[in-house]
Amino acid sequence: MKLQGIFADLTTPFDHTGALYRGKIQPNLAKWNLTMLAGYVVCGFSGEGALLSADERVEMWAQAAAHAGQDRLLIGGLDSPGVHESVALAGRAAELGYAAVLAETPHYDPAAPAGLPLLYYRALADRSPVPVLVANRPRVTGIDLTAGQLVELSQHPNIRGVADFSGDVEKVQRVSRQTSLLAGCEQTLWRSLRAGASGAVLAMAAAAPYATIALWEAFRTREEEAGLDWQARIANPAALITTSHGVPGLKCALDTNGYYGGPPRLPSSVPSPAVRTEIAEAFRDLKG
C-alpha cells in the first residue's frame, strides 16, 4: 500500500429527505476519476460517517468501489468507538477490496483513561483483515494524540500509517520519520509536505481537486514558488469549508464547482444564502 499523493475526503450525497442519493454517487466519482487524485476516503469525517448506519456505510463503500478508477486507492472511514463493530466493518471493507480503514480516535467518554485510544487501535489492528490508519483529529474528538503515541502505535505490524489533522508541523516531522503520514490540514499543507508528510487527506480535494494536486505537484517537482502560491490560494477557501462552516460549507463548495454536494444530514443545516455567496466567491478561481 503506497500512501503517497492527495486523497480526497469524499462527501456522502443525500437528498432533501436525508436519504442516500444513490444516483449522485457515480457522477461525482466520474469527475474525480478524471483527476490525478491518489485515492479516496469514503465515509470519513467529510462523508458524515458518524451519521450513517452500518448498512448505509457499506452501501457507500460498495458504490465507491464499483465506480472508482482502478488505480485509485480506497480507504474506508471508521468512527465506531467499539472494537467489535469496527472489526466487523473492517471485514466488509476487505470484502469490497478496500486497501485500508481510517479509524477515528474514540471520544465517547471524556473521563476515559488516557490509554484507551491506544488500546482501541491495537485491538482493532489485531483483528482487522485490512491495514489500519490512525486518524488524529483533535478539533473534532478533543483528543490530540502525541507524536510519541502515534509513533508507538505505528510499531504495530497492521497499523500502516497516520492521518494527522492537527496542523502541528513539528508533530508531522517527528512522526513521519517513523511511519507514513498523511497531512490533513489544508492551511499547513505545504509546510507539512516539506516536513516529511508523504501526502494528504483533504476535504478541499473533494471540492477543488486540481488546486490541491497542483500544490502536490509543485512539492514533488521542488517548485517552491509555485507551491507557496498554491498554498496561499487555497488557505481562505479551505478555512471556510473546514473551521468556519464545516461539512455543510464543503457541500456548498461542491455544488459551486460542478459536483453534487447537496444538503447535509440533520442536525446540520444548509448554509445561509450569505454563506453560500461567500463560499462561491472564495472558490471562483478554483473551479474543477
pLDDT tens profile 98-150: 999 999 999 888 777 878 999 999 999 999 999 999 999 999 999 999 999 99
- When pLDDT is cut at 50, 70 and 90, the band that residue 180 belongs to is very high
Please name which of 209, 206, 208, 173 lies closest in space to residue 188, comparing C-alpha atoms. 173
Does pLDDT of 288 surpass 70? no
The continuous run of DSSP H or E covering 183 comes out as: strand 180-183
The per-residue b/e assignment along 178-216, b for 16 or more CB within 10 angstroms, e otherwise, is ebbbbbbbbbbbbbbbebbbbbbbbbbbbbbbbbbbbbb
% of residues, the chain, pLDDT over 90: 95
CATH topology of domain 5-223: TIM Barrel (3.20.20)
Model's pTM, two decimal places? Answer: 0.96
115 vs 241 pLDDT, higher one: 241
184 and 200 in contact (C-beta within 8 Å)? yes
The continuous run of DSSP H or E covering 77 comes out as: strand 73-78
Q: Give Cβ neighbours of residue 116 (< 8 Å, ≥ 6 apart).
A: 106, 109
64 and 41 in contact (C-beta within 8 Å)? no
Mean pLDDT of the chain: 96
Domain layout of the chain by residue ranges: 5-223
